[in-house]
Amino acid sequence: DGRRRFRGYEAGAVDFIQKPIEPDVLRSKANVFFELHRQRQQLAAQRDQLEAHAQALQALEQLTRRELLHEQETARLREQFIAVLGHDLRNPLASIGGAARLLRKESLSERGRHVIQLMEASAVRMAGLIDDVMDFARGRLGGGIVVERRPHDLEPILRQVVEELEASHPDRRIECDFQLTAPAPVDPGRLSQLVSNLLANALTYGTEEAPVRLAAAVTGERLTLSVANSGPPIPPAAMQRLFQPFVRGEVQPSQGGLGLGLHIASEIARAHGGELSASSCPQETRFTFTLPLTDPPRL
């Protein structure tokens, strides 16, 4: 009766089977309970899946937070590193160079003047090494080497670089062949650095008796600049790694330097939107910088 039904519902019953039992009704009720059980299992599986997703998202959030902190620490160390190079190393070096210039004005013996010349040359060389490391740090740790391209007459820029290299290598010759019929959009400081690095490399590894050859030409919408030297060819294994950082010559491995000059030259070429390539055979080794004059620089 109704009272018994009510007590049954209070006890947790959800349905009743009436007697006499009708098979169709029993079958229908059983199907309903089977479906309810299936839905409960499905909901439980979905709940477990959502919990797993939530745990994965939490782990990903923690990993992202750690990576962000790592990036912030890397940025801080990068700024510290560049600041040390730019200030803490440059300033003492500038003091040494300034002191050497002051001493050069004094009345010194031949040996004393020679020592002063060595001091000045070493200071200049160290300043160049610091510049190389700073450019490498900017390229690898920062946003890359920055260039500001403006139309420039290239011949005065190239002549000045040649004069500087000839002054530091008085026993060597640099032959020039310029066919610059129009200005080219370059960063003059960075282009000077690129050419200086290529010439210095050629003077270091080229045959001393043969001149280094610098050629530059504007043809159509392209600037082509090359530096060539005579001497032993670059080994094939070294050619594959030529523009990688800290790779030094395998022909004359005793030469000084950090092995950054060619890497930085290639980065300057890329920042301009151009390309630096190399070829080497028993007759000569040649580095060629090509720059489309109409394309914007690739950042």
Query: Could you read off the pLDDT of 227-261 as tens digits, one per residue?
Result: 999 988 888 888 888 888 766 555 444 455 556 78
Structural domains of the chain ordered from first start: 1-144 (1.10.287.130), 150-292 (3.30.565.10)
- What backbone phi and psi angles, to 5 degrees, belong to 193? -65, -45
What pTM did the predictor assign?
Answer: 0.61
- Secondary structure element (H or E) that encloses residue 70, with its range: helix 23-83
Contacts of 155 (CB under 8 A, 6+ apart): 178, 180, 216
Higher pLDDT, 39 or 20: 39
Q: How far apart are CA 205 and CA 213, in angstroms?
A: 13
Burial string for 68-83 (b: 16+ CB within 10 Å, else e) reads: eeeeeeeeeeeeeebe
**Using only C-alpha atoms, what is the Rg of the chain?**
37
Read off the pLDDT of residues 117-140 as tens digits, 9 standing for 90 and up.
Answer: 878 877 877 787 777 777 777 666
